[in-house]
Structure 1
Amino acid sequence: MTHADARRRTGTTTRRPRQALLHTLTDRHLEAYLVSGAALVVGALNLLNVTSPEVVAAATLAVLGVITFDLLTSRRRMRRIESSLRTVVGSLRAEAPDSVDRLLAVAVPGAAVGLTGARDVRLVGVTLNRTIRNHLDELRQQLAMGATVRVALIDPVGPAADEAARRNGLETSGGGEIFRHRIRPTIDLLDYLAAQNTGTGRLEVRLLRFVPAFGMMLVDPEDPTGQIVIDIYSHRPDGHEATITLRADRDPLWHRHFVREFDRIWAGGQTRHERKLT
């Protein structure tokens, strides 16, 4: 079943109890108007002496009978209304969006979508140590096949490493050096990729003098089937980082938003490598 079919089925299911509730309330109002109108007519006939007392008495008894019958059936009607309301509420809950717990997952450092066949790969992060190491072979293969790879990570020289240390609770002296030590292997691996002499791809690396608010891996983001994996950084991380995957066809609004975020981050970086591999 497609998403459109599911939506149509849910919409039909929701409309039916709503229509039943509307019909029940409408019937209830109509009977009330009829009984009230009949009572007014009988009262007017009695006051105006238009007909005999026997006819008025019979009409009064008839109206009282209708009222009695209505009172006897009111409990059943209330149960029908209550059932219809519960069905409507249940349908509305079924139409509600999924819990964010289903949308977010626990981030696994270095893990992301596959890069096989990718023509445009963009990476943003603090050190990207495990990400580059885990995807090194894929990146080399895609560069050999003509892909463009753009990488942005913090500059080991400058204030960004010290800020990253503070965010991770390493305010003591030497905290920034820990992050500089983590970044150096990443830069060595990127230098290795840039030094390759096969393929027609393009590798671009920029160093950031600020700490990005989140990590990202964008795979063919300009294509209709593009994907973005976003790692949401925590202040003083406790080992449970959140990640979410956006797809261009499923999440067009936020997918475009984070593509523009990459462009803004990229514009704020300093070029280290920007060369076409030959």
Structure 2
Amino acid sequence: MNHADDQRTASVGPRRAALPRRLTARELETFLVSGTALVVGLLGLLDVTGPKVVAAATLAVLGVITFELLTGHRRLRRIESGLRSVAGGLSGDSVSSMDRVLTVAVPGGVTPMVNARDIRLVGVSLSRTVRNHLDELRQQLLAGATVRVALIDPASSAPEEAARRNGLGAAAGGNIFAHRIQPTIDLLDYLATETGGAGRLEVRLLRFVPAFGMVLVDPTEPTGRISLDIYSHRPDGREATVTLRAERDPIWYHHFLQEFDRVWAGGRVQDGRPLL
């Protein structure tokens, strides 16, 4: 055997080896149906079998063909669904439900702040948030971090607006919210005293009720994150929250980072407190 024969043998071998793999279940079914129809047709043509047998076999073959058409449509729908999922993933619409994105906010929920150099808080009273993070805020200030806190001004009309949003009377409810803010301010005074000027603690008082609460941790860093609480017009016991990450959600992350800057610019420095 020469070299050319070896090449022909080598080329034929893989084709023969690949042939069984190409016979899928659907192709095998097609061959069987076609062969059955051919055999029954020849038997009827040669009068080997009776008309009833030929008719029954014909109906059986038609039934198989109909079934094949139905399963083909199902396969086509599955393929179409798969292509839609792929297209959605490529276009950024891979999230099928906002229920997977938004979760129920836990009042004063703990956000990791270890080793953070830039911490920013926005909220109505922030009483639980500051209380739950008090030790972490103290440690990070002692380590030289910058902490910025924006909450509503108890001396403005903001407490009354917050009371109205919570279904309370403006006058009495406003006093309630004003009293809720004072413990937060006292805790911030405590932090300023305890840290002895280490780091930088800044506070802005807002004459309006912010539309959302925010906890920003190292927001200008590539690993930064923003925890966003979306306030309801009339709270029903549940508030939505979502966490944005700088590397994963660049568009909306940048948007809410700018929102913090706008909220911060709209606040006033607390009178008579140079450290705050």
Determine what percentage of the aligned residue pairs are the same residue: 61
Residue in 2 that maps onto 1:87: 78
SS class of match (2:147): strand
**Residue pairs, 1:224-263, within 5 angstroms:** 224-263=222-261
Which of 103, 109, 121 pairs up with 2:119?
121
Q: 1:247 to 1:197 in 2, by over 3 A?
A: closer
CA deviation after TM superposition for structure 1 residue 192, in Å? 1.2
CA RMSD of aligned residues (A): 2.3
CA–CA separation in structure 1 for the residues paired with 2:98 and 2:138: 36
CA–CA separation in structure 2 for the residues paired with 1:274 and 1:150: 14
Residue in 1 that maps onto 2:142: 144
SS class of match (2:171): coil
SS class of match (1:180): helix
Count matched residues: 207
SS class of match (1:122): strand
SS class of match (1:195): helix
Residue in 2 that maps onto 1:181: 179
Structure 1 runs not aligned, ≥5 long: 1-71
- 8 Å contact from structure 2 (residues 151, 206) kept in 1: yes
**Residue pairs, 1:68-87, within 5 angstroms:** 75=66, 78-79=69-70, 81-87=72-78
Structure 2 runs not aligned, ≥5 long: 1-61
**Residue pairs, 1:128-139, within 5 angstroms:** 128-139=126-137
- 8 Å contact from structure 1 (residues 132, 189) kept in 2: yes
CA deviation after TM superposition for structure 1 residue 79, in Å? 3.9
Q: Structure 2 length as normaliser, TM-score?
A: 0.69
Q: Structure 1 length as normaliser, TM-score?
A: 0.69
- 8 Å contact from structure 2 (residues 213, 229) kept in 1: yes
Residue in 1 that maps onto 2:165: 167
Residue in 1 that maps onto 2:110: 112
- 8 Å contact from structure 2 (residues 118, 146) kept in 1: yes
The residue identity in structure 2 corresponding to 1:228 is I
| Deviation per residue, 1:199-244 (Å, 9 max, x gap) | 6310000000000000000000111111100011111211111111
- 8 Å contact from structure 2 (residues 160, 170) kept in 1: no
Runs ≥4 residues deviating over 4 A: 72-77
